[in-house]
Structures are given as C-alpha cells and as structure tokens.
Amino acid sequence: MSPLNPEMPASPSSKKTFRTRISVPGLTEGVAWGLAMASLTGVLGQISWLFDPMSHFIPHYFIGALMLTVLFGVQRRIVPTGVFAGLAVVHLIILQPHLFPSTRPPERSGAPQLRVLWWNLQSNNARLPEAIEFLSKRGADVIALGEVTPNMLSNLGPLETSHPYSIKEPRSDPFGIALYSRYPIFEPEVLAFGPDELPTLEGQLLIEGQVVRIQATHAVPPIGFRGIRQRNAQLRWLAQRFDSNRLPTILLGDLNTTPWSQAFRQFIDRSGLVNQPPGFFPTWPAPLSPVGLPIDHCLVTASLRVHSKQTGPPLGSDHSPIIINVGW
C-alpha cells in the first residue's frame, strides 16, 4: 500500500468543521425576551422584597420596552409588539406618581425658605478640597454629609466658619454622618439603630418663628437578602419616629432605595413623609448619570413644600449631591 500523500486534502468524512452562526435578529430577540423577564421581575418587586434588586430599574425597563415596541411594530410582529407595549404601560403606571406633577396649593408670598443639601461624600474621596469649596458656594443653610470618617472630619473644618452649629458622628465604616447649620440646633440627638448602632442625626431649627426638625441618615445597602432585610428594618425603625412627633420635618439621606420600590413606598406610608417635587433625580452611581438611580432623598412632612430640587457634580464621590429649597 502506498503511503498517504500529506498534500492530499482530507476527505469530508475525516474532518468535521463546526460553524457557529450568530443571527443578529435572533440575538436581538433573545435580548428582548431577557429584558421582558427582567421587567416582570421588577414588577414583582413592587409586591415582594424578594425581588427588590430588580425593582429599582423600572425607568430603564420602560425605555427598553418602549424601544422594543417600536422595533417589533416596524417589523409588524403582533405578539412581541403587544407584549412590550403592555410592559411599557405597566412601567409607566408605576412611574407616573413619581415623574409627573400633581395639583399643588399655591405658594404663599413672603413665606420663609430653607436651602438644604445632602451629599454622600464617599469615605475615600480624593477630591475633598474641591468638594468643600463646592459646599461653601452653594448657599445652603443646612448641610448633611454621609460617609464621614474621623480623618475626613478634620478637613471639613472650613464649614464650621459658615455653619457654626453642628452634630457630628464620624465613623471608620461608611455610616458616619455630619450635620452643619447656619441656625442654632436645639435638642441635638444621635439616634442609634441595631447592634451596630448605625447613627441618624436629629435636631430642631427655629426659622422665623417656625420649629423645623432636621434628620440625616444613611440606610444599610441592600446587598443580598440579609442587606435587604436590614435596610427594611432600619426604615421601619426610622418611620416610627414620626408617630410620636408631628413637627414639620425634613429628612435627608442615602436611603439605598428608589422611589418606586416597595421598601420606599412602605416607608412613605408609615412615616407620612412626602417625596416632592416629582421628577427623576439620579444620584448613584454618579459616573452613569443621568441613567443612574435616585437613592439619595429629601423627604418632608405634608406641611412643608419643596420648591426646587437639583443635583450637583460628584467631585470624587460615587454619589451626586442634592440641593433642595424647602418652604412652608
């Protein structure tokens, strides 16, 4: 038998060729139905804390469902068009109270206003001098800061010149808080939650004859089921503070939840606080703004009015600050 010629091509039977073909329409449809499943999970997050992580992306699901409705509609595919149109409507219903203004009572001319600012500074902020300069130029009457460490506190000294009244509870973990005010703070208190004694700062201000309570807090991040339960327990604990004290109140803080989540809705119902004005004010993660999540909040009792709300530059933090004008 003659030897096999090495230059002779192998027969089809001796060599198998595997080809992987990626269909763009098929890939698009796979992504689309994946989004549909995520959207449904987000809707379930409105009724069960087990799906909490997915419930915070309702605006993103809405935009995605709207785009896919148009895409499948152009292709004249009735079933997926109907499915994604329905999902878009469901998400819009969930978002509607948070994004669109409702009827509000007229403003009283000459009513006093208070400008407040909340900012999770991030404990390892490398641009702290710029952040302090920003704070000094915003004209805020009250400044509340999160993730304040003992080392950071010494660098915040310039704020005490313009805001000589303060409550400070620095910590080496991410839950240190500091509150600075141009006005005297009466009955200052550091409230402690849970075995780790996570602080919430509380004090009262006298503004043109009106007593206003200020609170600043930082909720546990909902990492895993344990984190979700801890955050929810912390919010329930905080809501109880409003049962016994009906003073006009401004609550500032990183609540680690979005306005359309079940945890936020339950906190609002229990505390009687309101989230105003309507709008989309993403604060985290700051590099992804404006498509981030609004987890930093200013909530007020119904007797107060938020005239304006805006976010500022992150300046070294992974959170953007929020600046609010409150009146009554």
Listed residue (211, 245, 163) closest to 328, CA to CA: 211
For residues 223 and 2, give the distance between their C-alpha atoms in angstroms, rounded to a whole number: 70
Residue 65: which pLDDT band, with cuts at 50, 70 and 90? very high
Cα gap 160→178, rounded to integer Å: 11
The fold for domain 113-327 equals Deoxyribonuclease I; Chain A (3.60.10)
Q: Which of 93-97, 108-112, 149-153 has the lowest mean pLDDT?
A: 108-112
3-class DSSP assignment, residue 47: coil
Question: Is the pLDDT reported for residue 25 higher than 70?
Answer: no
Mean residue pLDDT across the chain? 87
What whole-number distance in Å separates Cα of residue 259 and Cα of residue 240?
A: 19
Query: pLDDT at residue 275 above 70?
Result: yes
Least confident of 28-37, 143-152, 192-201, 298-307: 28-37
Is residue 249 within 8 Å of residue 300, measured between CB atoms?
yes
Task: Please tell me the distance from the alpha carbon of residue 238 to that of residue 236, in angstroms, as a whole number.
Answer: 5
pLDDT grade for 292, boundaries at 50, 70 and 90: very high
pLDDT tens digits, 180-238? 999 999 999 999 999 999 999 999 999 988 899 999 999 999 999 999 999 999 999 99
Looking at residue 46, its pLDDT comes to 78
Banded model confidence at residue 106, pLDDT cuts 50, 70, 90 = low
CA distances from 291 to 61, 280, 285, 286, 315 (A): 12, 10, 9, 9, 18
For 133-152, what is the mean pLDDT?
95
Does residue 245 register a pLDDT over 70? no
Q: Quickly state the pLDDT bin for 23 (edges 50, 70, 90).
A: low
Model confidence at 173, in pLDDT bands (50, 70, 90)?
A: very high
pLDDT band at 2 (very low <50, low <70, confident <90, very high): very low
pLDDT tier, 244 (very low <50, low <70, confident <90, very high otherwise): low
For 302, residues 6+ apart whose C-beta sits below 8 A from its C-beta are 272, 274
Q: Identity (one letter) of the amino acid at 299?
A: L
Mean pLDDT of 282-306: 92
Residue 104 clears pLDDT 60, i.e. is over it: no
Per-residue pLDDT band at 155 (split at 50, 70, 90): very high
pLDDT over 90, % of the chain: 66
Fill in the DSSP letter of residue 106: P
Distance of CA 215 to the CA centre of its chain: 17
Contact indicator for 130, 105 with CB cutoff of 8 Å: no
Which DSSP category does 288 fall into?
G
Q: At what angle do helices 78-99 and 58-74 cross, to 10 degrees?
A: 150
Pairing of strands 249-254, 210-218: parallel
pLDDT value at position 204? 96
Give yes or no for residue 3 having a pLDDT over 50.
no
Q: Are 45 and 52 in contact (CB under 8 A)?
A: yes
Q: Determine the pLDDT at residue 242.
A: 79
Residue 171 pLDDT exceeds 70: yes
pLDDT for res 15: 47
Three-class SS state of 292: coil
233-248: b (≥16 Cβ within 10 Å) or e: ebbeebbebbeeeeeb
Cα–Cα distance for residue pair 235/54, rounded to 1 Å: 19
